[in-house]
Structure 1
Amino acid sequence: MAKKLEIKNIRIIKKILRLSDQLESLLKKYEPELIYQALHSMALLALCYFKQGNDKIPDYDYVKNIGYKIYGLNHKEATIQEKQWNSFLRNYLFYNIDEFDLEIAKSIENGFFNEVSLLAEADKLNAKIIADKSENSFSEAWKKYHNTFANNQEEVVSSLYESLKKNVQYISPINLNGTVKLFRYLSENEKANELIEFYISNRRSNKTIFDLKHSSFANHIDDPKIIERFNCESKCSGDDRSPEQVIISLAAKNGWSQNDIEVLSALTVDDFYQIFISQHGDHLSGLVDACLQFAQIDNASDEQKMISNKTIEALVKIGKQSSLNARRVAKFGIRIEGDI
């Protein structure tokens, strides 16, 4: 690895060798692929951290925050310097950074390995590596993107879509974010949003994964929908009720709790839409009115206003579906353009 990175500084080589010995000792029970990644990432990160005035070597912070920039999914045009760094990283076969790599980065910064946190991330990655060994693994699916210039968009989308679902328990939020960003770039927004919901519904056994405020990978999550839905899940983690149950409770009582407000304000317009169209019966109007009531409060909080505003947007969406629904939402004060 030192040869591949063309490291000539003896001091840096000795640091990398010392860190390599410690890593191999800590990780000897894990899959060979994990040990390879650990040594591969550590050598690069150590070189970037200890480099001195060599512009050909990427800046340490640039590598730590690389995300999916090498995939061409960043929003800003890369500078000439960044393009050179990206070429350097591609030549080293380093395409993105994950939670395990970030834990190694912390060790390089601190000068020692935090065995507890390092092995915790190693356990997660090791399970993913085992899953990735299947023929249709997530890593294999990404190769259909990386390893060809063929006109195979349909195959890339289908492979990533199916593989993410199959291996959802082993997919990190960073990898979810990268997949969703690629799908959006390819105008596959419906599939992107579906994967987000599938991911959330299948990872709720570990609620902490949605807590971006206290997460080491938060800076790598930049898809607005993922951020919105993760924040919603994090807010709702202390409440076992579904959003639908919260609205039913709100309609049945004269008042609300702050927890009710937090749960409902974190919902999206589509969430309210799905709840309303799924309801049938005498109680439906009461549910809608319960969500609209905050628009009538003079001193409503921003969260309360969000609930009513999203409810109105959901009703507009319902009203635009048909002339009949335009009449139905009119009783809530919703006017659909073109409706008489």
Structure 2
Amino acid sequence: MSSTAAVKGEIERFLKSPNPEVVCVTGAWGAGKTYTWQAIFDRLRNQREIAMQRYSYVSLFGVNSLEGMKSAIFENLEFLVPQARSGFEALLSGGNSLFKQSKQLVGVAGAIPIVGGYVAKGQPLLFNTIRNQIVCVDDLERRSGISVKDVFGLISFLREQRGCKIILLLNESQLEADAAKEFSDYFEKVIDSKLVFAPTPADAASIAITSKDDVSALTREFCEKLSISNIRVIKKIERLIAIADLARLSPSVRKSAIHSMVMFGWCKFDSGANPPPISYMRQSSLSKYLERRGSKEKPSAEEARWDSIISAYEWGTLDDLDAVLLDFVDSGVLDADKVNRCVAQLEAKQDRADKLGKMQQAWNVFHGGFADNKNAVCAALIEGFKASFDVLSRRNLDEVVSVLRELDRAEDADGLVSFAEERCEADFWADDPFERGVKDSRIRQVLAERQKAATPAFNFEDDLITAAEKMDRGRQAQLAKVPVERYQELFEQRTGDRLGRLIHCALDYRRIINASDDEQAIVSRAEAALRAIAKKSRLNELRLQRYGVTLDEPASEDGEPKAE
């Protein structure tokens, strides 16, 4: 049994026993002492398993006198009956509410100068009602102006004279020196049993996060991985994750976002664990390494510890969503629009990766063995393409169709091409000058039909620019057929920057070593037009030298000038 389980078991025994006693539970701040006590108390209360029927909870935070402590015990008195809507239990629940209201009226009356004097004189009578009940005294180390000796004296009185059960919750390590000495001196006389509450990270995560949904499970897992044992820190992280509404994200993006949020929350809130500052997390491990190497500085012992924790947590680099979530944790202000944009980009990227993975799995059936499983291979390739078509290319289709035809599945091959023709977007069929030639004749037929239907009306001037800038082979084929006279006419009619752009686009193909026939034809016609313009005057001849065009005719392969 873990120490946490032992403490929980002792608290249950304490609540179920009618015998007066004093139990002390000590543990670090944020360990979950009060949280665990309240959770067990509420559960047993609802199950009607608590031995006594009255209860007071008092925090000594700010309490500066013994009378103040007594008043707090009375003012927080409640009857342990479950809330109900009808019957006798409803009557008792109503009485509990009425009693709470009456105590509030006593407090208000105490603030009225004359009336307050009478109330003050009546406080001993009110405290006289405190007997045969459970009292939880919390935050002993945070008291103000009241000694530990006086607190212990009142606790002892309640047990011995009033038949009460008292549980004392504190962080013993935070008692000042004098208080620690009094605690030690009177401990044996007052405290019946002492429990040290030191939950493991797994215990702390389970105590703080009780829900069973996926977000809660991931939050527990990552809190445990960072060894977070402060329950208040875990609850703050859980709250921020709920505000960011990470449950709505796709599983992979959700897991990554929660992984980041837990790290950011730990850095921001768990000062007692000495985590790296938020600013340290903004810099990647690689950039820190390069910076240190450049400056020839070694990481400090603290930085080495941080780096070790970050590495064990399998931390990578910040993506755009991480950066937005980091700002949220640091500032407490959530930019929902930025989060949504980053999530959309990440999920689209993940969707693409998932679909490409499905196609790769299909090819694994083909490449993954030598079994006689033609039907399985063909089915995998067809289904893989259909499941991923919106992230694939014509080349991918050509590869699948080629295999199908080689395996005598022509009908399936034609069906897959028809599927692509019907379902794939225009970009799938768009001209790509850098694509390898498509082998399948059926795909080439569809491609030709698509490109013919998409070919816009020819505009010589505009298409001369577009063909060069976009390497549009369709427009190049049309430009290669334009007579030299139209090139000359266009050049002579344009001036300034427009003229320069047209000439540069027409001659741009000269830089291509393996220019196509159409590209060579465009250059030839443009140069011929420019030579004709140069011959009209010495001035034009000088102007065209900047384009590398001379009056000499280009030589043919036999050394004779070429005929245009």
| TM-score bracket for this pair, using the shorter chain length | 0.3 to 0.5
TM-score (norm 2): 0.26
Q: Give the TM-score, by structure 1 length.
A: 0.39
The structure number with the bigger radius of gyration is 2
More strand by share: 2
